[in-house]
Amino acid sequence: MNNSPLRSRALLWLAALPLILVAGCASSAPDTPQPTRSTPTPSNTEVAPIRDLVTDLKAPWSIAFYGETPLVSERDSGRILELVPTATGTYDKRRIATIDEVSARGEGGLLGLAARPGFLYAYFTSSQDNRIERYELRGKPGSLSLGKAETIIKGIPKANNHNGGRIAFGPDGKLYATTGDAGDSSTSQNRSSLAGKILRLEPGGAIPADNPFKGSAVYSYGHRNPQGITWGPDGTMYASEFGQDTFDELNVIEAGGNYGWPIVEGIAKRKGFIDPVQQWDPSEASPSGIAVVDGSIFIANLRGRLLREVPLTSLSTSTDHFVSEYGRIRDVVAAPDGTLWFLSNATDGRGDPREGDDRIVRLDPHSATE
């Protein structure tokens, strides 16, 4: 086990605070965990370090922050929700839009969200393709609304599975997107296809002049179904990727890099391909969203039903947290206040929902001292 500050504090809190929410595994009695309540004050709000923030989401997929306002996508309904803080420290759900063009089948639907000043970006499956649109974000927190859609990129191959779908802005201000091979593995090595790639775009959709392949949105290729991207403090880019039957992966992403699929899977040590820095059996992983907090990469795992921590100082090691306590975990993000939020995913047809699922849980590294 590594000794990251976040993990060390969490262990102390778990020993000291009996009211911390720790949900039972999916096969246990479906008791509904009750959030620890506190009354916030403008100057110093005491909250439990592990707690439910919102419950009863339906097949949620992504969390994005617009300033300090959390926004959530629901895959099948096509809804974008604004989370509005309450006096108890939890959040109410408020629908700000439904993306009518969403065609939710299999793993497709409304997937990743990303925000920048004045705009919200959404990656979704339409009746023809996967695409990214952006919308002007209007109003103030608590009353946000979306303006007219503007297409950033379209024509990304779609299928019932392997749609990728994560989007995020990098430290360079560019928009990055993960795309799956859409069930056709041959597309991943074909740089003229948008499938099986990580893409890099200007915020308005233009292709950056310094992309590795001139005139192409492709930033890296040879991917099967990547669903998580994040950056370390030094600007290093990391991505999580679903393997097939052998290995799921954590990769360090290099511009123009070939990550091997379908020629290799996992660590192969073959010339011309970039190996993952860590790999796992798919039954123990199925990694989706990832985030960097307190010197570690945190990875949301679906089939593994856990939150995995990989220290930036030792990328070949990892520690598992909350194994089977929250069921399938789809996304994890760093909140603006430095807390870690993760999103359960039991209601997408593959999980075992308990009362209150799906939920967003916060792990707060700043609510107690060591």
Helix and strand numbers, DSSP H then E, in the chain: 1, 24
The string of pLDDT tens digits covering residues 128-177 is 999 999 999 999 999 999 999 999 999 999 999 999 999 999 999 999 99
N-to-C CA span, the chain: 18
* Alpha-carbon separation of residue 294 from 86, 147, 366 (angstroms): 27, 36, 11
Provide the residue type at 58 as one letter: K
Residues 285/286/289/292 CA torsion (nearest 10 deg): 30
pLDDT for 55 equals: 98
pLDDT value of residue 6: 52
**Cα–Cα distance for residue pair 23/184, rounded to 1 Å:** 38
The set of residues, in sequence order, having a beta carbon less than 8 Å from that of 184 and lying 6+ positions away, is 157, 159, 195
CB 57 within 8 A of CB 74: yes
CA distance 73 to 108: 12
**Which among 334, 368, 315, 299 has a CA at the least distance from the CA of 64?**
334
Q: What is the pLDDT of residue 238?
A: 99
Provide the token pair at 324.
């089977």
Answer left, alpha or beta for residue 222, where phi above 0 means left and psi between -120 and 50 means alpha: left
10: burial class by Cβ within 10 Å (0-12, 13-18, 19+)? Answer: buried
* pTM, entire model: 0.88
- How far apart CA 265 and CA 185 sit, in angstroms, is 12
Q: What is the reported pLDDT for 366?
A: 54
Q: Please tell me the predicted confidence (pLDDT) of residue 364.
A: 77
Determine contact, residues 267/258, Cβ cutoff 8 Å.
no
d(CA 107, CA 182): 10
How far CA 75 is from CA of 108, 167, 298, in Å, comes to: 7, 14, 22
Nearest to 20 by CA among 369, 366, 363: 363
Question: pLDDT value at position 213?
Answer: 98
- The 10 Å CB-count burial string (b at 16+, else e) for 204-221 is ebebeeebbeeebbbbbb
Task: Looking at 195-301, list the stretches that DSSP marks H as alpha helix, in order from N- to C-terminal side.
Answer: none
| Helix, strand, coil tally for the chain in percent (to 5) | 5, 40, 55
What are the residue boundaries of the structural domains of the chain, listed by start? 1-16+50-57+302-362
**What DSSP string describes 53-98?**
EE---SSEEEEEEETTEEEEEETTT-EEEEEEE-TTS-EEEEEEEE
Q: Write out residues in the chain with pLDDT < 50, as ranges.
A: 1-5, 7-47, 368-370
pLDDT digits (tens, 9 = 90+) for 4-53: 445 444 443 333 333 333 333 333 333 333 333 233 333 233 446 899 99
Residue 233 in tokens: 């403090």
- What is the total residue count of the chain? 370
| pLDDT, position 38 | 30
